[in-house]
Amino acid sequence: MSRAGVTGSAPTGSAPTGAALTGAGLTGAGGPDGELLGRVFLTRVLEPGDGTAGRWVREWGVGEMVRRLRGGGTAPAGVSGQRWAGLLARARQAEPERDLEVARAAGARFVCPGDAEWPGQLDGLGDGRPLGLWVRGRAGLRMWALRSVAVVGARACTEYGAHMAVTLAAGLAERGWVVVSGGAYGIDGAAHRGALGAGGATVAVLACGVDRPYPRGHTQLINRIAEQGLVVGELPPGDHPTPSRFIVRNRVIAALTRGTVVVEAALRSGSLVTARAAQRLGRHTMGVPGPATSAQSAGVHELLRGEATLVTDAAEVVELVGDMGDLAPVRRGPVLPRDLLAPGARQVLAALPGRECATAREIARGVPTTEDDAIARLYELGALGYVERHGDGWKLTRQAMTSVRGGRDVC
């Protein structure tokens, strides 16, 4: 059975991901592959974050939902005929097998609820949970999201804001944290660049198809993120962003991460939507202060007058998000036995020196693999508690050393 959307290197630590292009199909009763193909179909028909449709999916199941939309019958009780007709029109155009092929050609896979790579914290979005996520990049999304922080802010940022975003993201990357942002101009771009520049891990959550970088001026940046990090989105290949899609995208950024830092935001900025979503989800909400005279800091200051915490550097962010008890496995050593690690991750782990630090490049040479691949594995191993980043180097955690020496894993 062929696997749709699996790139050359399968995500570490994740179980089989992808959908059958043939076999159990859209009209079948389901099964894992039918479920996945059904969800791919639904990402083409339903708008992201549509809570009503999400409720249908929950109540009827994916198979039944697909059947109703494919069948072209009358609207369910309580749904306007016009709305239902719009969905049926979209359903007639949907070609999920083709979407998976296009995605695969662009190096993207489709990850959906129930997959080993699915970040469980997205379930906090309830019926507004994504139907699935299109993912470009070699790292495992679930592992990376475990130790991630969102750094977001204004498109029209000041030099001060850009400086803070770069510095903060670099500092987070140096502490082994994954920086999540929206790939936009301004603060978002600065955050991604800060993480990349520090040889760190970053995730761009787009409001369009992951094969269609937006904004166009960030095509190179987003492709670079797909190489060294992950590019993620709810929309099927080729789909374009709209103002409302930017807004609903923000809930995914908030839900994926342990906390959201807003670097600069004017009053009524979209970044405040991300921050408020994070608050509703019980995540940490943080803001970087700026001059009280700066309109680009006014939205952040409004947040800080509420529940958000003021942060001025990466250490303060980590102090907050790292203190989440059972969500911070890295502080207490490995949480997954070594023999359950994916082969790629096991090889990288084996290439680490006993007690010394090594750079990602040195480790990659020892495997051997590419530096980008080594970085992807190292951040996953970091999330699992095996390794820690120290400045530019990586080393085994004390607990990992004990478990390696003792021949046993700490679970």
Which positions lie near a second copy, rule CB under 8 A? 160, 163-164, 288-293, 297-298, 301, 304-305, 309-313, 316
Q: Which is nearer to a second copy, 47 or 313 (CB)?
A: 313
Q: Which is nearer to a second copy, 159 or 326 (CB)?
A: 159
Residue 392: CB minimum distance to a second copy, A: 23
Q: Which is nearer to a second copy, 133 or 152 (CB)?
A: 152
**What is 96-114 written as a DSSP string?**
HHHHHHHHHHTTEEEE-TT
Q: Are 309 and 320 contacting, i.e. CB atoms less than 8 angstroms apart?
A: yes
Give how far Cα 133 sits from Cα of 61, 166, 212, Å.
18, 27, 15
| φ, ψ (nearest 5 deg) of residue 129 | -60, 140
Closest listed residue to residue 15, CA positions, set 134, 141, 123, 124:
141
What count of other Cβ atoms lies within 10 Å of the Cβ of residue 350? 12
Residue 305: CB minimum distance to a second copy, A: 5
Residue 401: CB minimum distance to a second copy, A: 35
Q: Which is nearer to a second copy, 176 or 290 (CB)?
A: 290
Residue 167: CB minimum distance to a second copy, A: 9
Q: Which is nearer to a second copy, 86 or 291 (CB)?
A: 291
Residue with tokens 């069948």: 71
**321-326 long-range contacts, Cβ below 8 Å, gap at least 24?**
321/149, 321/177, 321/258, 321/259, 321/284, 324/258
Q: Which is nearer to a second copy, 304 or 360 (CB)?
A: 304
Closest listed residue to residue 200, CA positions, set 379, 397, 382, 387:
379
Residue 302: CB minimum distance to a second copy, A: 9
Residue 102: CB minimum distance to a second copy, A: 43
Nearest-10 crossing angle of helices 187-197, 219-228: 40
